Amino acid sequence: MKKEIKEELNIFSEKNDEELVAMTLKNPDVYSFLVERYEEKLLRYIMRISRSTKEDGEDILQDVFLSAYKNLNDFDQDLKFSSWVYRITHNKVISHFRKITARPKTTTYEGDSNLLNILASDEDIARDLERKYTVGEVKDILDRLDERYREVLVLKFLEEKDYKEISDILEKPMGTVATLISRAKKQFKEKVQEGSSKGQ
């Protein structure tokens, strides 16, 4: 019996996202495999872009998965499932953030200890990180960026999405995404330089 369950689990875990969506429409239990695949990534993404508490983040996450389930028939086959579910997350965070906009910012995601290295992997940014910054300082710089710039930097460097995926998530033309990333980098550099001059 246990062997059968294990084999079944293996079958589902070998399926790609799009196949799991099709299977979920026939059997709702299959949805748990999609949830498991994305819960950590999406919670991290929510925390990175929303400045909300972990509890709030989990509430948003639940809302995202319920919304995605209700709209499974609207899943656009031209997209990757990950882009589609990230888009839903982006929209949920925006609507949630509008509600709590008066709240002070609280925690950030604990898993971002490698934040500095990831951001510094970009040549443009690396040049500006001449002195060593602590993770806290980098988070602070990210916090001071405009929302739209912070989000594209998070998607590009922390979530490692390509331009096409970012375009699908934010529902913006690829050209606009490229412009946003370029401006985000510029603003990031400005904030780094501001920080350096204050430090001296």
Residues that bind another protein (CB under 8 A): 25, 28-29, 31-32, 35-36, 39, 58, 61-62, 65-66, 69-74, 76, 78, 167, 171-173, 175-176
The residue among 33 and 120 lying less far from another protein, judged by its C-beta, is 33
Report, in Å, the least distance between residue 166 CB and another protein.
Answer: 11
Spatial separation of the C-alpha atoms in residues 35 and 64, rounded to whole Å: 10
The residue among 62 and 117 lying less far from another protein, judged by its C-beta, is 62
Q: 33 near 12, Cβ under 8 Å? A: yes
Cα-based torsion angle of the residue sequence 99, 101, 106, 110 in order, rounded to the nearest 10 degrees? 70
The vertex-169 CA angle with 92 and 129, nearest 5°, equals: 100
The residue among 35 and 88 lying less far from another protein, judged by its C-beta, is 35
Spatial separation of the C-alpha atoms in residues 34 and 15, rounded to whole Å: 10
Q: 167 near 149, Cβ under 8 Å? A: no
Report, in Å, the least distance between residue 58 CB and another protein.
Answer: 7
Report, in Å, the least distance between residue 175 CB and another protein.
Answer: 8
Report, in Å, the least distance between residue 65 CB and another protein.
Answer: 5
Q: Find tokens 């690396």 and name the residue.
A: 126
Report, in Å, the least distance between residue 174 CB and another protein.
Answer: 8
Cβ neighbourhood burial of 122 (10 Å; 0-12, 13-18, 19+): middle
The residue among 136 and 173 lying less far from another protein, judged by its C-beta, is 173
The residue among 39 and 122 lying less far from another protein, judged by its C-beta, is 39
Q: 191 near 141, Cβ under 8 Å? A: yes
Report, in Å, the least distance between residue 28 CB and another protein.
Answer: 6
The residue among 22 and 135 lying less far from another protein, judged by its C-beta, is 22
Nearest to 158 by CA among 47, 4, 38: 47
